[in-house]
C-alpha cells in the first residue's frame, strides 16, 4: 500500500507543488451561497487559497504532515488528519479533489460518510471516472482506482440531491476529472451499508472485509 503519510506522500507533494489556476472552477460554486468550506486531502493548500481569494472561509486537512506544513506557511488553515473520522459540523461545502481515487472500498465508504457528517449542506468530489478499474500508479498496488463515484455516493445516500456535475479539464486547472456536487441536507452520515464479498481477489489478500453501497450491482 502507498504510504501517503510518509515519503511516498512527500514525493506527491513535490510533484504537485505547482498547479494551474482553478479560480474559474471554484467560482461556479459561489452561486450556492457558500460561506465556509472544508477540503479533505488539501495537500499544500492550492484549492484553499483559491477559495479564500473568492471570499470563502476555507480550512483543510491532509494525511501528509509535510504538505500541511507548507500549506500553513503560505497562510492556509490546515491540520494533519486522514479525514475518515471527522466530527459532525455544519460546513457549507465539504469536498475532495483527487482523493477518493486512492481509496479501496472500505475506506472510500468511510470517507463519503465522513464528508456527509461534516457538511451542513453540500458535498463535492472531483475524481477520475471509470468502471471500478484499478490503474497502475508509480509501482504501487491498490493506489489508484477509477470508479463511478457519483453512482456509489447516490447508492449510499439515496436522499442526496445531485445539483451539479460535469467535466473539468486543463482549461479549469485539472487533469480531466469528473465532478459531482450534492445537496445532502436530508442525509445522515450513518446511512445503512450492506456487507458483500470483496471486489477482487487482490483486495482480499490484505483486507478482512469490504462493502458496496446499497443498491449497487
Q: What digits encode the pLDDT tens for the residues 39-72?
A: 999 999 999 999 999 999 999 999 999 999 999 9
192 pLDDT above the threshold of 80: no
CATH number of the domain at 136, please: 3.40.50
What pLDDT is attached to residue 214? Answer: 35
216 pLDDT above the threshold of 50: no
What pLDDT is attached to residue 197? Answer: 39
Q: What digits encode the pLDDT tens for the residues 80-126?
A: 999 988 877 899 999 999 999 999 889 999 999 999 999 999 999 99
Domain membership flag for residue 66: no
Domain membership flag for residue 92: yes
Domain membership flag for residue 133: yes
- Tell which phi-psi region holds residue 33, choosing left (phi > 0), alpha (psi between -120 and 50) or beta: left
Mean pLDDT, the chain, rounded, equals 82
What pLDDT is attached to residue 196? Answer: 38
What pLDDT is attached to residue 75? Answer: 95
What is the rounded CA–CA span in Å between residue 193 and residue 212? 7
Among the listed residues 4, 10, 26, the one whose alpha carbon sits nearest the alpha carbon of residue 124: 26
Domain membership flag for residue 72: no
Domain membership flag for residue 27: no
What pLDDT is attached to residue 203? Answer: 44
Helix (H), strand (E) at residue 146: strand 145-146
212 pLDDT above the threshold of 60: no
The domain of 208 spans 83-212
Number of domains, the chain: 1
Domain membership flag for residue 87: yes
144 pLDDT above the threshold of 80: yes
Domain membership flag for residue 76: no
Domain membership flag for residue 106: yes
pTM: 0.82
CB of 143 closer than 8 Å to CB of 114: no
Amino acid at each position: 500500500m502507498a504510504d501517503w503519510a510518509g515519503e511516498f506522500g512527500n514525493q506527491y507533494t513535490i510533484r504537485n507543488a505547482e498547479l494551474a489556476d482553478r479560480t474559474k472552477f471554484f467560482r461556479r460554486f459561489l452561486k450556492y451561497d457558500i460561506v465556509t468550506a472544508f477540503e479533505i486531502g488539501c495537500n499544500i493548500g492550492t484549492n484553499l487559497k483559491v477559495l479564500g481569494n473568492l471570499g470563502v472561509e476555507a480550512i483543510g486537512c491532509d494525511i501528509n504532515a509535510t504538505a500541511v506544513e507548507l500549506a500553513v506557511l503560505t497562510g492556509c488553515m490546515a491540520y494533519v488528519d486522514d479525514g475518515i473520522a471527522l466530527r459532525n459540523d455544519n460546513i457549507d461545502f465539504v469536498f475532495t479533489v483527487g482523493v477518493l481515487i486512492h481509496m479501496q472500498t472500505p475506506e472510500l465508504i468511510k470517507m463519503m460518510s465522513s464528508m456527509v457528517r461534516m457538511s451542513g449542506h453540500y458535498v463535492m468530489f472531483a475524481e477520475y471516472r471509470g468502471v471500478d478499474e484499478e490503474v497502475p500508479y508509480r509501482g504501487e498496488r491498490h493506489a489508484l482506482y477509477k470508479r463511478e463515484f457519483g453512482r456509489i455516493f447516490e447508492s449510499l445516500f439515496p436522499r442526496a440531491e445531485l445539483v451539479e456535475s460535469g467535466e473539468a479539464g486543463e482549461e479549469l486547472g485539472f487533469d480531466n476529472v469528473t465532478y459531482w456536487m450534492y445537496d445532502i441536507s436530508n442525509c445522515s452520515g450513518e446511512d445503512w451499508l450492506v456487507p458483500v464479498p470483496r471486489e477482487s481477489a487482490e483486495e482480499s489478500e490484505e483486507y478482512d472485509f469490504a462493502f458496496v453501497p446499497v443498491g449497487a450491482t
